Every structure is written in structure tokens, then in C-alpha cells.
Amino acid sequence: MRNHRYTTLLALLLVVGPAGGGQKAKPATHEEPRPASAGEERPVDLDKLPAGCRVAAKRVKLVKPFEAIVRGERVSSREIVEFELSSKEPIPARALDPVLAVGERAVTSYRYAGPLTLVFTEPDPSKLPRRARVQFRWGMEGPAYSLDYKFDLEALETIQR
């Protein structure tokens, strides 16, 4: 019985061919992306940071406490730090959540404020470094993209909300 299966498989390979259907694979060609015309959407490159990303941070004193579950821990705070990441291109929604790294601290609580803006919220400002470099990445293990922003906790503008 086993020999019959192998003979049938060999016969199919000879008739169909290794490339499937006897067709040869076309060589890959490299095409430069063309600019999108008015009303046409361009494909999003998920392997890079959207163009023109910039970040701004502010300290927010809240009338009503901010409550969230961060890394399995319930957090309630009347003072938060918000990081607004804005771009010239839409920021895509992906399977991996966006992460803002402020020094060694990963800020994972976020919301889309619009197609060009993400707002990250750090509910416990005491866990942020005083001064740090800021990076963006998709997921906790993804490649990090440095942003042209030097975080300084003491120099943040404070607003009431």
C-alpha cells in the first residue's frame, strides 16, 4: 500500500512539476513606491515609523482620578503624564500595541486621539526618569525608533483637567 502512495505522488510531481502547475516563478522586481494621487490611499510600511513623528509631554492634574490596570496592577492617580505622539502620516493599528520607551520605563497605556495622533498615559509619574531619551516601538520586543525629543520631568508644562 505504501509503495502505491509514493508512486502516485511521484507521478503527480512529474505531471504538475515542482513549481506547481508547471509554471516558473517570476523574478522579483523592485518598484519604487509612487506618490498617492488625491483620494488614493498609499500602502503603509509597517517596518518603519510614520513620517514626521514628534512627541510632546505634559503633566496633567486631574479633578477626577485616572484609573487603569497597568501590567496587571490597578492604578489610581490624580496626576499623570501624557505623551502626545503625532505624525504627518496615519499611524496604523497593528497586532502589536504601540509602546513609548522613556528611558527604561515602557509606557503602554495609550489611545488613538485621531489617525495622526497617539496619546500615551503614564499614571505614576514617580516611575519616570527625571531626564531620558524617548523611543517608539511596536510591542515590547520590537525594534526601537528614536524620537527627536529629550524628556525632562521637571520642565514639563502642568495643566488642570
Amino acid at 23: Q
pTM: 0.71
**Contact 106/127 with Cβ under 8 angstroms?**
no
| Structure confidence at residue 106 (pLDDT) | 96
All residues at 6 or more sequence positions from 46 whose CB lies less than 8 Å from its CB, including other chains: 92, 94, 138
**Contact 84/59 with Cβ under 8 angstroms?**
no
Neighbouring-strand partners of residue 86 = 54, 117
Q: Which of 130, 133, 161 is nearest to 145 (CA)?
A: 133
Tens digit of each residue's pLDDT (9 = 90 or more) over 38-93: 566 667 676 788 899 999 999 999 999 988 887 788 889 999 999 999 999 999 98
Lowest-pLDDT range of 17-26, 34-43, 57-66, 92-101: 17-26
Q: What domains can be seen in the chain, in order of their start residue?
A: 54-160 (2.60.40)
pLDDT tier at 142 (50, 70, 90 boundaries)? Answer: confident
